[in-house]
Structure 1
């Protein structure tokens, strides 16, 4: 998404039409950190400082009916945000991410994936983790992998994809869009 400012009502209207309860939005280019109500949603956002030119940005849209289930959130930076939700005796952590592009310099990518790994490592194991967003990754497919499944995107794995796979392997996570058949448009991370 190329910035949310001019399309905010349209985006949230579409999310509502699709009956989506929780949605991570990336490349919002929204400045600052905070919450706002947009239509039927609570919008928790994290972007660059207000004095900085608009870029990047990540947010989580949560339907109002889940308002009382939101326990906490942390706007870490313009690329990572976390939200804790308790519902039906389940404790869930949503981590919304907007990864650097695959052509970003290796140090930038190292810093991003290291920060993400530390955040995930600090989450208690009794909580369900959902890592959502734009990873700018091509993770490929494998038949016998504990991380990616046979139904993922059938393209060459890129550097971000290798980094994501490595992180998931070290943390015992799965990239779920490859474990079930999907239309091609739903196979990309």
Structure 2
């Protein structure tokens, strides 16, 4: 089953995720090819396309891809997932990004291996996921927000809850190195999400 989409517009989380994504993308210089792993409804891919990037991508939600194509019939987004052999289908890219996806996957090591396989040798990956840490979890516990945050009743919702340490460990296992971490959405200790920038280990 896939995450459910209602339209092709940005989500509220894009207000704080996109500035961090664009900050890192701008450091890469001239726009080129990019892959959107977990493209959802295509709203981020369209924003990247507007900045000059040639974006391909996949998402397991046929509904999300349908909304993406309604907004831009020319966009290169398809139904698929991180469990597919995406490199064989699409090749490798100088930039791979995947925003708010890894918290939804049942087999995160397979996801991480696919992310790595899509990256050129000198490529960059940008991954975001909701942030978890001691102080944020303590504040949620003291304010009675734990049940709402961990969303046990959300169909197709979050099933993995990552800290910087655990997500870094996941990527290190497959041969990726974290070069920068942005905590976004609130003050860092209570951040809504974290954005990790990755490259291949040397």
**TM-score normalised over the length of structure 2:** 0.39
Q: Which has the bigger relative contact order, CA under 8 A and spacing at least 6?
A: 2
Q: Which has the higher helix share?
A: 2
**TM-score normalised over the length of structure 1:** 0.40
